[in-house]
Structure 1
Amino acid sequence: MISRLVKKIKNSLQALWHGFADTINANKKKSILGVFLALLLVIALTFLTLTVNSKIRAAQMDNLIYEDLPTKKIVPFSYGEGDKMINEKKAVSVMFAKPNQTETRKALQIIKQKEDELNRKFYYYPLVYQTLEIKNTYNIASDEVTFVFFQNGEEKNRFTLNSVKDPKENFIPELNRLPMWNIEVEENKK
């Protein structure tokens, strides 16, 4: 019973294939043109998908994450531009954090309350897409809010919100000291 069914399906598929091959042989120019157009269509759809995907992600980040930033002193990276900016800027402080976690909300709340004490702008690198890649590149824990100072693309100093004792009092001063990595090095030399 099953073998007859398999044989019947096999014969039907062979008949379809032979009919397809005969049609192609009878109309070679049209067949080549059809294959070429189908290939162009596949390439165009692939390119469109890749382009639209990154634009959708950028729009999502703009609408869902960056609109809710409490101060102008937090500068969001454009989608896909974070690594480039870190490597190209002479000096840059960056906050790496998942936007929806409790620690991030805590950090943003403290920044909002003590915005006047913050002496510089810093960049926000949200851990939304490609989290594992970002985590491995910058050696960060994705469940922590990590602040890193880069000079000429090289990490010079870092701290996490969890490492700050009494964050309500000491977080902003620690953030202000982040770029002063060389002062600690000089003090250790003495």
Structure 2
Amino acid sequence: MFTGIIETLAEVIATRKEGGNLVITMKTPLASELKIDQSVAHNGVCLTVTSIQDDTYEVVAVEETLQKTNLGQLSPTQFVNLERAMVFNGRIDGHLVQGHVDGVGACITRKEQDGSWLYRFRFPREFAALVVEKGSICMNGISLTIFDVTDDEFSVAIIPYTYEHTNVPEIKPGYLVNLEFDILGKYVARQLTTANYQ
């Protein structure tokens, strides 16, 4: 379980295919604090650390993950948002995030404002019931508040700290981002759809 508050960035050093899987090698000062078998969110995708060497480590994204996320598009020199699993005796500064990405959204517009950045995204219409005005969304692992919501679009405002400490600067029109919708909304939607069968 995660909170959507990014700890640091990791640089992609290499990627290689192993069957239907993609092995990703990352470089970050955080590597020395990781353990093999530990779950870490990468752009909001929960992946298991499989090896560690000095300031680099590896994770494996299986075919299912590659189909539903933007990880298959990663290449060397790109940066990935990192968050280690939450500690249950601490504050939850973002919102409850599982690291289970529901799908990708596409950046439509990016506008620099006076002290912030305004982004607009299009998302698959099938998730419309989970996207609410002033609700939470996890975008590339970042907990954000959404507004100007329609059936297939929403906007987010990015503050300078988030812009400077995540991979948000790489996001431009056409860029695909990983989206995880609020787990509480998913449970409510599921309850409403199954209530008719009881």
Which structure has greater strand proportion? 2
Which structure has greater helix proportion? 1
- Common fold: TM-score over 0.5: no
Which structure has the higher relative contact order (CA within 8 Å, separation 6+)?
2
TM-score, structure 1 as length reference: 0.24
Q: Whose radius of gyration is greater, 1 or 2?
A: 1
